[in-house]
Each structure stands twice: as structure tokens, then as C-alpha cells.
Structure 1
Amino acid sequence: MKRNVQQDIMELAAPVVEALNYELVDVEFIKEGANWYLRIYIDKPGGISIDDCQAVSEQMSEILDRKDPIEQSYYLEVSSPGLERPLKTERDFIKYKGELVEVKVFQPIDGKKLFEGELVGLIDNRIVISDNGNEMHFEKDKVAIVKRAIKF
């Protein structure tokens, strides 16, 4: 059910977000405690402001009220994905090529579950990073999350 809701909302949100000149990064539909949350993550060059989130929220609220694609009660949140955003789509792997990323795997590899390096790309369904010239390859289905690693 969760996957269908997320896909349905992606399809409803994409034209709204694109018409406002933002990028639709992700949609989550998750239960936290007693409440369900529908989170729509948007981005644009230079970052997202509260006004950007409000514009998408208002338009999506109207569409969601009209189409009513979700049976249970939920809270709608529109947000920036943050600096350490997860990389999910092929577009993300192209956009952030050359940047520092963290790769977390489901099962330990040589006793480690977290790896860091420069993103080489998504090649043949494998995530490739380079750490001081040493390339590491991870099967995409064995990776829990890939996210930007921001150092301050």
C-alpha cells in the first residue's frame, strides 16, 4: 500500500512542483507514532525557502482534497531534502557525481556498514565511489541509503 500511495502522490505532485520551477526529490508516506505523514521533498538551485514550501503545500492540498487518494487521516508536509539528501534517482547520481557521499549497506562488508568517498556514479546498477583512488562498487539492492556527506 505504501508504495502505491507514494507513486500516486509522485504522479500528482510532479506537474505542480515542475510548474513552480522546483525539482520533486521524493515523497514519503510513513506512520510515526499514532499519526501518518505525507512528506513531499522539493529542491531548486540555491535552496528552498518556507515560501516555496507553502506554495507547493497550498496547491497540493487542493489536489489531495479533490482527488482524495489516501484513505486514512494524515499530515501534509512539504520540505527541502536538506544538505545531506539521500540520492535515489539516476538523475541524483548524475547531479552529484564528484561529490563526497556516504554509502550505508544492509549487511557488513569486511566488518563495515558505512563507507565514504567521492561519487563516481551509478554504473550497471552498481553505486561506485572512490576513496583516495580506490574504487568501491556496491550492488544497488544491497545498499540501504546513499546520501551526500557534508563536512563543516
Structure 2
Amino acid sequence: MSNKVAEKTEELVQPILKELNLNLVDIEFEKEGKNWFLRVFVDKDGGVDIEECGQVSEKLSEKLDNEDPVTIPYFLEVSSPGAERPLKRREDFHKNIENTIYIKLYEPLDDEKEYEGILKSFEEDIVTLEVKVKTRKKEIEIPFEKIAKARLAVTFN
């Protein structure tokens, strides 16, 4: 059910975002405790403010009420993706070259399922990540289709 809700929500929210010059980052429909949450993460260059999130929420809420794709009670939340934003689309990887990212894989690569490092390149569906191994830096290549989750990683120097 959650995939269908996310797909329908994306279909409904895209015209709103286009009108407001915002970008869709992610949509989640998940249960926390006994409550369901429909979360829509939006952004633009320079970031989004609370008024923009409110506009999207108001307009999307109206469309969701009319189309009624969700048959159970839920809470709608529209927000910025924050510092550790998810990387889902290929363009997300292209935009974040030289940033520190965290990647979780479906299956181990070199006996590891999780990596954190600097995104060096993304070409031909291969993510090249510079990781630290003890005191050395090394580059690893990760096929895009093996990535279960990826997000920006906040580092403190």
C-alpha cells in the first residue's frame, strides 16, 4: 500500500511544486507506533522556508482530500529534507560530487554493507567513493543498482 500512496502523492504534488518552483526530494508513507505519516520532502536551491512548506501542505491536503488515495487516517507532513537528505535519483548523486555521503548496500561489497566517504564521481551507473581505511584513503566503485539507501552525511572536523 505504501508504494501506491507514494506514487499517487507524487502525481498530485508535482504540479504544486512546479508552480512554486520547488523540487521533490522524497515521499514516505510509514507507520510509527499506531499512527501513519505521509511525509513529503521538498527543497530548492538556497533551501525552503516554513511558509513554502505550508503552501505545499495546504494545496496537497486539498488534492488528497479530493482524490482520497489513502483509506486510513494519517498525518501529512511537508518539510525540508534536512542536512542528511536522502540520495535516490541519479541526478542526486551528480549534484553531490565532493560531498560526504553514506551508502547502505543490498549485499556486501568487499565484506562491507555500509560505506561513508567522499563522492568522487558518478559515471555509467558506478558510484566512486573515497573512503578512509585506518590512515589510508582508497577509492571503491559501487554499482548504482546495489545501493539500498544513500544520504548525505554530516561530518564534524
**1:89 Cα offset (Å):** 0.6
- Tell me, yes or no, if the aligned pair for 1:18 and 1:24 is still in contact at 8 Å: no
Q: Distance in 2 between matches of 1:121 and 1:65?
A: 43
Q: Which residue of 2 aligns with 1:104?
A: 104
Q: Which residue of 1 aligns with 2:153?
A: 149
Q: Which residue of 2 aligns with 1:17?
A: 17
- Paired residue secondary structure (2:39): strand
Post-superposition Cα deviations, 1:80-107, rounded to whole Å, max 9, x if no partner, equal 1111111001111111122111112244
Q: Distance in 2 between matches of 1:7 and 1:93?
A: 22
1:11–1:144 CA distance, 2 compared to 1 (3 A) = same
- Asked if 1:80 corresponds to 2:84, the answer is no
- Tell me, yes or no, if the aligned pair for 1:105 and 1:145 is still in contact at 8 Å: yes
- Asked if 1:95 corresponds to 2:78, the answer is no
Post-superposition Cα deviations, 1:14-67, rounded to whole Å, max 9, x if no partner, equal 111121011111111111111111000001122221111101001001111111
- Paired residue secondary structure (2:98): coil
Q: Which residue of 2 aligns with 1:66?
A: 66
Residue 139 (structure 2) aligned to one of 131, 135, 139: 135
Identity of aligned residues (%): 41
Q: Which residue of 2 aligns with 1:40?
A: 40
Consecutive unaligned residues of structure 2, counting only runs of 5 or more, are none
**1:125 Cα offset (Å):** 3.3
- Tell me, yes or no, if the aligned pair for 2:84 and 2:152 is still in contact at 8 Å: yes
- Asked if 1:27 corresponds to 2:27, the answer is yes
**1:122 Cα offset (Å):** 3.7
Aligned-partner residue type, residue 9 of structure 2: I
Q: Distance in 2 between matches of 1:72 and 1:122?
A: 40
- Asked if 1:51 corresponds to 2:51, the answer is yes
Q: Distance in 2 between matches of 1:47 and 1:10?
A: 20
Q: Which piece of structure 1 moves more, 52-61 or 134-143?
A: 134-143
Aligned-partner residue type, residue 8 of structure 1: K
- Tell me, yes or no, if the aligned pair for 1:106 and 1:142 is still in contact at 8 Å: yes
- Paired residue secondary structure (2:155): coil
Consecutive unaligned residues of structure 1, counting only runs of 5 or more, are none
**1:108 Cα offset (Å):** 4.2
Q: Which piece of structure 1 moves more, 119-128 or 76-85?
A: 119-128
